Structure 1
Amino acid sequence: MTTSTVLPPAPGAVRTPEAAASAALAASAAKVVWVARAAEVASAAAQGALAAQGALAAQGALAAQGALAAQGALAAAAGSRARSSGSRLRAARSS
């Protein structure tokens, strides 16, 4: 980030109204540039924060999907074991 500094006239120098207006304009332009740059930085920070939130939300959704899939697989395996145990129990009773 660059800034410009307006120096006062040298001692004994005559400062014309045009020079004063030019110095004021230069100072004003420097402030506008600084404010614009600050706005760019703030915008980039906001975009970064939104991107981070999106990435975390995506990770959370994927983790939730993975957890649900794992629960489903465990439930299916438990159901299969229960059916298998029931079949063996019936076979043992009938013999």
Structure 2
Amino acid sequence: MKNVTITLDEEVAHWARVEAAREGKSLSRWIGDSLREEMEASVDQNSGVRTLLALKPGKLSIDGKLPHHSEYHRAVLPRHERDHLRTGSGRSGKARTRN
């Protein structure tokens, strides 16, 4: 373990103390754990990007074409296929004027 001294403004220090207490940790332990989590998330993200960039170019589908947007929406947004949802507001498309 390496001991370090940090300077925090009052608002940040208060928030950090509250968060540490909420987790039942000392301020020092909470800051150390938070920094470790950030470091590990950064390492994981960088690893994922490197893996993605290392992929060889390939076809997006068997015929090399992307699906039409309506096919995509049917697959990704199935809630639009539910019968109980209204298809529109029921208005005739005319704008409502206010007096």
TM-score normalised by structure 1 residue count: 0.35
TM-score normalised by structure 2 residue count: 0.34
Give the helix-richer structure, 1 or 2: 1
